[in-house]
């Protein structure tokens, strides 16, 4: 049992054994979540604040359910309509919240690195629920759990990550995680949505789906933001669908038992064809949502344990 991190700010600084510890615990929560009475007391008496500076329905709901199932007192703060609009800086907001003694702070912010900055100013454990185009660690962990359960392992797989890599924090966290677990990673997308320097990340960069999906075990599609569709990064939605949208023909290049993933919400008919998305033999998109709750329960539980051990050990190295 090893999980040493104080915050979950990204996958970059996690060790492979910490990832495995977290996924093992999450596995037990998957079972719990399927029972009639879905309750645990791991976080009883602790306060969890969800601070979302950027729109989110799914991730916020997932964190809220995860906290409640573990018995935490959960509060949601919609920061878009809040004091930041009155000119308060991020650091001041963090200090204000810190004074209320939360134990777990779940933060999403539109700027890369903003959650790191906030974590420096508070005493509680901070979970990054997505910062700019930097990281979205719980998404990568839930993807990993989904892959591990579907494929029976999380190493030596060929994973194709397809679409808007450039603006995707999901892609970055997945690249870190899948790389640490020793998988072969391919990035597939139009060159305008491929970050410069991607080829130096220890991944293969492909410009066509045929090349990228060849013999893949996992096909991970990314969401294409609406504002990137019209002429700025790609010529049009229909051309994108034609060249990069996942349909049966493109998927046929992958292994026969390849699974299809998507972090949601999906643009059907843009990055993924409906028949693929709904194909229960290939698509694990609904499983990803289920794993999301379990992974977040595990992450918060592990961070909460470190929160306590910090006080009990009183500075003694353990």
Partner 1 sequence: MIPTIFTNARLIDPEKGTDTIGTLAIKDGVIAGPQGLDGATQIDCDGKCLAPGIVDIGVKVSEPGERHKESFRTAGLAAAAGGVTTIVTRPDTLPAIDTPEVLEFVRRRANEAAPVNVLPMAALTRGREGREMAEIGFLLDAGAVAFTDCDRVTENPKVFSRCMTYAAALGALVVAHPQEPTLSAGAAATSGKFAALKGIPAVSPLAERMGLDRDIAIVEMTGGRYHADQITTARAVVRLQRAKEAGLDVTAGVSIHHLTLNELDVGDYRTFFKVKPPLRSEDDRLAVAEAVATGVIDVISSMHTPQDEESKRLPFEEAASGAIGLETLLPASMRLYHAGQIDLPGLWRALSLNPAKRLGLSSGRLAPEAPADLVLFDPDAPFVMNRFKLQSKSKNTPFDEARMEGRVLDTWVAGERINVAPISDV
Q: Quick one: tokens of 82?
A: 């809040």
Q: How far is the CB of 119 from partner 1 (least distance, A)?
A: 10
Stretch that binds partner 1, among 61-69, 72-80, 107-115, 266-274 (CB under 8 A): 107-115
How near is the Cβ of 198 to partner 1 at its closest, in Å? Answer: 6
The residue among 147, 148, 146, 118 whose CA lies nearest residue 131 is 118
User: By CB under 8 A, is residue 133 in contact with partner 1?
Assistant: yes
CB of 189 to partner 1, least distance (A): 13
Q: What is the C-alpha to C-alpha distance for residues 255 and 27, in angstroms, rounded to an integer?
A: 26
Q: Is 65 in the site for partner 1 (CB under 8 A)?
A: no
Which of 135, 273 has the CB closer to partner 1? 135
104 Cα distance to chain centroid = 18
Using CB under 8 A as the binding rule, the residues of this chain from 154 to 173 that contact partner 1 are 166, 169, 172
Where do we find the tokens 């309750």? 39
- Indicate whether 90 belongs to the interface with partner 1 (CB under 8 A): yes
Specify the residue, 44 or 120, whose C-beta has the smaller distance to partner 1.
120
Output 42 or 90, the one with its CB closest to partner 1: 90
- In this chain, which of 111, 207, 208, 306 binds partner 1, going by CB under 8 A? 111
Q: Distances from the Cα of 220 to the Cαs of 134, 186, 264, 265, in angstroms?
A: 18, 10, 11, 13
89 contributes a contact to partner 1 by CB under 8 A:
yes
CA distance 137 to 102: 21
State the binding string over 189-218 for partner 1 (x if CB under 8 A, else -): ------xxxx-xx-----------------
Residue 55 touching partner 1 (CB under 8 A): no
User: Judged by CB under 8 A, does residue 15 bind partner 1?
Assistant: no
Residue 292 and residue 37: Cα distance in Å, rounded?
19
Considering the complex, what minimum distance in angstroms separates the CB of residue 38 from partner 1? 35
- One of 4, 80, 113, 275 touching partner 1 (CB under 8 A): 113
Q: How far apart are the first and last CA of the chain?
A: 13
Measured CA to CA in angstroms, residue 250 lies from 167, 212, 267, 273 at distances of 23, 10, 17, 11
DSSP 218: E
Between residues 33 and 111, which has the closer beta carbon with respect to partner 1? Answer: 111
CB 293 within 8 A of CB 65: yes
Tell me: does residue 56 bind partner 1 (CB under 8 A).
Answer: no
Per-residue tokens: 129: 């629920």
Instruction: Name the strand (E) or helix (H) holding 47.
Output: strand 47-52
Contact footprint for partner 1 (CB under 8 A): 12, 89-91, 109, 111-114, 116-117, 131-135, 166, 169, 172, 195-198, 200-201
């Amino acid at each position: 049992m090893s999980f040493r991190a104080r915050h979950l700010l990204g996958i970059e600084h996690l060790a492979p054994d910490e990832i495995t510890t977290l996924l093992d615990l999450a596995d037990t929560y998957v079972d719990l979540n399927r029972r009639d009475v879905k309750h645990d007391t791991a976080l009883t008496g602790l306060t969890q604040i969800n601070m979302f500076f950027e729109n989110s329905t799914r991730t916020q709901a997932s964190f809220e359910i995860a906290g409640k199932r573990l018995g935490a007192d959960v509060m949601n703060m919609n920061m878009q309509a809040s004091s930041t609009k009155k000119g308060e800086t991020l650091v001041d907001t963090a200090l204000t919240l810190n004074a209320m003694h939360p134990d777990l702070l779940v933060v999403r912010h539109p700027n890369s690195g903003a959650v790191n900055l906030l974590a420096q100013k508070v005493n509680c454990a901070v979970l990054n629920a997505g910062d700019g185009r930097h990281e979205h660690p719980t998404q990568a962990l839930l993807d990993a759990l989904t892959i591990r359960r579907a494929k029976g392992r999380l190493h030596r797989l060929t994973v194709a990550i397809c679409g808007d890599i450039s603006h995707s924090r999901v892609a970055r966290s997945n690249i870190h995680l899948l790389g640490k677990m020793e998988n072969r990673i391919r990035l597939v997308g139009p060159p305008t949505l491929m970050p410069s320097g991607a080829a130096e990340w220890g991944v293969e960069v492909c410009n066509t789906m045929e090349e990228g999906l060849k013999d893949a075990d996992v096909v991970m599609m990314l969401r294409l933001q609406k504002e990137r569709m019209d002429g700025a990064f790609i010529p049009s939605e229909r051309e994108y669908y034609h060249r990069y949208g996942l349909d049966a023909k493109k998927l046929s290049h992958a292994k026969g038992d390849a699974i299809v993933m998507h972090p949601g919400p999906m643009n059907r008919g843009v990055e993924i064809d409906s028949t693929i998305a709904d194909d229960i033999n290939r698509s694990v998109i609904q499983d990803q949502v289920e794993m999301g709750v379990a992974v977040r329960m595990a992450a918060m539980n592990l961070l909460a344990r470190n929160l306590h051990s910090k006080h009990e050990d009183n500075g003694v190295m353990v």
